[in-house]
Amino acid sequence: MKQFIKYPLFLIVFSLGIVHHTLAQNTYYPNFIGLNPSLTVEPFYERGEMDINILPIVYQRPMRKLLDLRLTSIVNLGLRNSGNEISHFGLETALPIFFKPKEVTQESSSGFFIAPIVSLTRNRMEEHNNVGIWLEPGYNLLFENRFAMSFGLQVGATYFSFDNGQTKWGNHFGVKVIFGKWI
């Protein structure tokens, strides 16, 4: 497990392989491309320090009538009192499960959902790897022009594995807003 935590790039490549495999099928499925602006503040950051995701790209695709696959890139710019630099990089993988099934799988997703989420990131500044395990209840709004917005609340825990051998668990709470378009 530590090898996968240590190299979030593995998860990115693996997830892109899954996306490529699903896109290689002959049946058309709508694809959602969007943005998820996010801000992170950890309890151990000094006052005024934060991370801003500067590459918040979201890809989502229906897999079944009730199930989607959602991938979100994480490339955080760490704003620190001692200087700014790229702090985190990694990938968040979610499986939104919708309460109301679509008539056909090839429809764009909308409505209430709950999503189990796994996030793998590397924090270069504080020298630790993270594994996040979260649950996200939310709602997808779909407009007539295929523009969509998703709102969710993430609750769960994050496992921190520091390079010096220390480990710890921390609580996770996040507000998720995604906007983009189904193509």
Residues in the chain: 183
The domains located in the chain, with CATH, are 2-182 (2.40.160)
Q: How confident is the model at residue 45 (pLDDT cuts 50, 70, 90)?
A: confident
Q: What pLDDT was estimated at residue 5? A: 47
Q: Which residues of 53-65 are buried (b: 16+ CB within 10 A; e: fewer)?
A: beebebbbbbbee
Total-model pTM: 0.83
Task: Output the CA–CA distances (angstroms, integers) from residue 1 to 8, 33, 36, 37, in the order listed.
Answer: 11, 30, 28, 29
Distance from C-alpha of 97 to C-alpha of 113, rounded to nearest angstrom? 5
Q: Which residue pairs from 24-28 have beta carbons closer than 8 angstroms and sit at least 24 positions apart in sequence? A: 27/106, 28/106
Q: What pLDDT was estimated at residue 112? A: 98
